[in-house]
Chain A
Amino acid sequence: MSDTFFSGAPHWRWLIILYFFVGGLAGGACFLAALLDWFGRPEDRPVVRTGYYVAAWGAIISGLLLTIDLGRPLRFWHMLFQSANLPALMFKGWSPISFGAWAILLFGLFSVLSALGAMAEEGRLQTPAFHLLHRGALAKLVVAVAGLLGFFVAGYTGILLSVTNRPIWADSPWLGALFVASGASTGAAALMLLAPGRGATPRSLEWLSSFDSNALVVELLVLVVFLVSLGSVNRVWVSVWGLLLLVGVVGFGILVPLGLHLKPARFGSLATRPVVNAAKLVLLGGFLLRLATILASEGIDRYRVAVGM
């Protein structure tokens, strides 16, 4: 038996599952928006702006979810400053929850700046200072930092789980990589759903759809490697969570959307709006991935207590 089976479950439930999903999606969307901002074409601007809005709202919602989930929410700032030694900063480079708190804060800051730039570009903010945030070197720098922090936020949640002593999470070093890939695919999916409303061109959507296919393939490969690396711990999947992982994540969240991207004609009624349907399924799969990996491990506490460990 893996030594991880002797630890206690941290009661990370719905708020954290939702946070992992929203944070991953926002991070992935921000990364793609920044990439298109730097290397795309003028016709990609609607997607770029949508990406920054998704990132900013995602970061704000993530911060709220994390705070509400604390046992003492009003002490959330203890993660950023040493409460007994103000204004000294609180930062542990070796603790993912510590550097993650800073990453969320900075990601929020830079994605909101990028979103303000996007609003200025759309003419919704007239103050000249905001125009510095959508054209020129400063704007490029801000969105680059936001994009990199976005990918960081998408992946660190998996590293956070690995840097514990819990079954499944600490039994493999691949969760971070898996969450990065899932963040990228769900970020692209969110953009495919939302960007058309902001005037995205078919060419931008085509690129998003082809990137999403690639991200799904990477996600599937990393998921397989993750499962192989779990070894004997895989027996925990002989449960409702395993079914969810296989049917919900692999089937509906990866293989069906991949099929819709590559060979839509084979999917009957789903093929009427293949990109939209694929995007919805990718979002569902991304959510179920977090749900299954978190709750499968959380449930083991009950097992531990039940057998008197």
Chain B
Amino acid sequence: MPEAMGFFTDTTVCIGCKACEVACKEWNQLPAENGGIRELSGDSYDNTRRLDGIHWRHVRFIEQFSGPYNGRWLMMSDVCKHCVQAGCIEVCPTGAIIRTEFDTVVIQSDVCNGCRACISACPFGVIDINAVAGTAQKCTLCYDRLKVGLEPACAKACPTDSIQFGPITELRARAQKRKDQLRAQGVEAQLYGADPQGPLGGLNSFYLLVDEPEVYGLPRNPKLPSRNLKQSTSFSVASAAVLGVLALVGLRKRRMDEQPPSLS
């Protein structure tokens, strides 16, 4: 069995060129939005805005400006996190979402029936419906390329090596070194999703950030959807039991209120 593979994205060297976005679209033959007539966001240089069924990579532009010459750009190439404990796999009722031999998460489009439960289960807002296929879609970490020993299209295209592909253990060691290097330079660098003891058992696509996760549109403490299952079920059963008892008490009261039949 091959070892777990994934991405380490060093956001500090992303230049926002979107080569990864384009390479992903091209390799996976993803359609253009709105027939190629794109509405500009109007308030940002980021016109893709989000990950969805036809955008499996999204270079997020975070414009932190308090005046025309005072501020900074943060850029992050976002993608499915290929969570070690994946909420999407957990809820998928058709078994369409599988974990591959590379420890990545793939939606089989020929099995998915478009119920959309995975969209609401993913803590990162990664999945959406691909209108052409009518099914939920997202990054496959180029499963087809991995199978034949190629690296994913996005990592191949990235000109600055902001997206690095490889065995997760190696990537984690490299990420740690890079974080230490930046910290030594006084940069407030932190790793997001690199800790196998952390949320969701770690992310097989993890990041080096220089601001809080929320600034990058990432939840601080992503959780599995099943965390609510037990409590929610118990409260529902309790509510049903209370209503059942009330109904029975009502029937009993009705019987007791009835006059005994007269003997005459």
Sorting the interface of chain A by its residue count into under 10, 10 to 19, 20 to 34 or 35 or more gives 35 or more
A163 to chain B, nearest CB (A): 5
| Interface 1/0 per residue, A88-101 and B, CB below 8 Å | 00101011111001
| Interface 1/0 per residue, A1-26 and B, CB below 8 Å | 10111111111100000000000000
Binds B, one of A111-119, A121-129, A168-176, A254-262: A168-176
Question: With an 8 A cutoff between CB atoms, is B87 at the interface?
Answer: yes
The answer for the CA separation of A162 and B52 in the assembled complex, in Å, is 23
Question: With an 8 A cutoff between CB atoms, is A308 at the interface?
Answer: yes
- Is A72 a contact of B134 with CB atoms below 8 Å? yes
Chain B residue numbers with a CB within 8 Å of A156 are 236
- Is B248 a contact of A35 with CB atoms below 8 Å? yes
Question: With an 8 A cutoff between CB atoms, is B116 at the interface?
Answer: yes
Question: With an 8 A cutoff between CB atoms, is B31 at the interface?
Answer: no
Chain A residues 109 to 165 lying within 8 A of chain B, measured CB to CB, are 151, 155-156, 158-160, 162-165
- Is B119 a contact of A11 with CB atoms below 8 Å? yes
Q: Which listed residue (A8, A32, A39, A222) contacts B125, Cβ 8 A?
A: A8
Chain B residues 115 to 135 lying within 8 A of chain A, measured CB to CB, are 115-117, 119-129, 133-135
- Chain B: how many interface residues by the 8 Å CB criterion? 70
Question: With an 8 A cutoff between CB atoms, is A181 at the interface?
Answer: yes
- Is B114 a contact of A70 with CB atoms below 8 Å? yes
Chain A residue numbers with a CB within 8 Å of B251 are 35-36, 39-40, 207
- Is A159 a contact of B233 with CB atoms below 8 Å? yes
Question: With an 8 A cutoff between CB atoms, is B201 at the interface?
Answer: no
The answer for the CA separation of A309 and B49 in the assembled complex, in Å, is 8
Q: Which listed residue (A8, A35, A36) contacts B120, Cβ 8 A?
A: A8
Q: DSSP class of A's interface residues: helix, strand, loop or mixed?
A: helix
| Interface 1/0 per residue, A163-189 and B, CB below 8 Å | 111100110011111111100100000
- Is B248 a contact of A165 with CB atoms below 8 Å? no
Q: Which listed residue (B96, B221, B239) contacts A222, Cβ 8 A?
A: B239
Q: If A12-B116, A101-B93 touch, does A165 touch B240 (CB 8 Å cutoff)?
A: no
With both beta carbons as reference points, the residue of chain A lying nearest to B254 in the complex is identified as A207
When A and B form their complex, what is the total count of cross-chain residue pairs whose Cβ atoms lie within 8 Å?
A: 223
With both beta carbons as reference points, the residue of chain A lying nearest to B93 in the complex is identified as A98
- Using a CB–CB cutoff of 8 Å, the interface residues on chain A facing chain B are 1, 3-12, 31-32, 35-36, 39-40, 69-73, 75-76, 78-79, 82-84, 90, 92, 94-98, 101, 151, 155-156, 158-160, 162-166, 169-170, 173-181, 184, 203, 206-207, 210-211, 214-215, 218, 222, 301, 304-305, 308-309
Can you give 17 contacting A-B residue pairs, CB < 8 Å?
A6-B125, A8-B127, A35-B251, A70-B114, A71-B112, A75-B94, A84-B111, A95-B92, A96-B91, A151-B240, A164-B225, A165-B123, A170-B225, A176-B235, A207-B254, A215-B243, A308-B61
- Using a CB–CB cutoff of 8 Å, the interface residues on chain B facing chain A are 41, 43-44, 46, 49-50, 52, 60-62, 87, 90-96, 110-117, 119-129, 133-136, 214, 217-223, 225-226, 228-229, 231-233, 235-236, 238-240, 242-244, 246-248, 250-251, 254
CB-based closest 3 A-B pairs: A71-B114, A176-B236, A75-B113
